Amino acid sequence: MFKGSLVALVTPMTAEGAVDEKAFLELCEWQIAEGTQGLIPVGTTGESPTLSHTEHKRVVELAIEAARGRVPVIAGTGSNSTEEAIELTRHAKEAGADAALIVTPYYNKPTQEGMFLHFTAIADAVDLPIVIYNIPPRSVIDMSVETMARLAKHKNIVGVKDATANLSRPIHTRLACGPDFCQLSGEDHTVLAFLGAGGHGCISVTANIAPRLCREMHDAWAAGRIGEAIAIQDRLVPLHDAMFSETSPGPVKYAASLLGKGSERCRLPLAPIAEATRHRVKAAMTQVGLLN
């Protein structure tokens, strides 16, 4: 079971726009040292839409190399092409990933039956635990609880990253899929409420820059120190707001650059963030105590 504070890693880029392998390895090492409980390379935050297949696979390999078995690596392997998702998932297994994070197929707009067949085909093809990534704002489609319950019967489909921000969803998912079906929030603002509704952890954007605080919040919750967990949550809210004040990962890559964790560069079509956003990110980081 994956649990606690996990991070949706950014992919640092060089000034020329190539993947900065050294910066990425250093980021992974820092995350583990700060208490992050799982690494998720090449998700949306890792700019998977603009990485080539070669780059995508290399970033997965780097995360596994950096983790060295100390924390699980859940590799992003999703695609709106089933065959492509199978290829990327096979690579993740061969590279030594602990699981695959697979997004619902975007742009094609498959039906619930299409999603069921898509995930079943991948799970049948590759013997690797799969976490379904349900994020309607980006993929347009929303996997129903009923479809997820059907998929949860497959031995290789072990959980969901839920980015719906619908706090009744984890309750219904728990009832439909059982308490052992791993539920990870994909929405930083609602983590504690998600945990209270039966969730097990969070795959966080904010953890890229505040990994220790995110881990401390999860630890406080797990230990029953609810007031402490809420206090940390309240402290993190301005940071969450800033990280999503423009399209992610623009703000979080800029924030990471201020901490010396790679450059702020994103690949087109993501533009450099606006000056007003820069001020907002800096102000939030200062307020939280990440910058002096």
Catalytic residues: 133, 161
Strand locations in 140-181 (E): 157-162
Strand partners, 6: 203
Residue with tokens 């726009």: 17
| SS3 assignment, position 65 | helix
Query: In terms of DSSP bridges, do strands 201-204 and 182-185 run parallel, antiparallel, or are they unpaired?
Result: parallel
99 forms beta bridges with: 74
| Edge-to-edge strand list for the sheet holding 182-185 | 39-40, 4-8, 201-204, 182-185, 157-162, 130-134, 99-103, 74-76
Cis peptide before 41 (omega within 30 of 0): no
- Give the integer Cα–Cα distance in Å for 264 and 108: 31
What are the percentages of helix, strand and coil residues in the chain, rounded to 5? 50, 15, 40
- Residue whose entry in the numeric block shows the structure tokens 């994909």: 186
List the structure tokens of 117.
């067949």
Place of tokens 């590759």: 126
User: Which amino acid is located at 262 in the chain?
Assistant: G
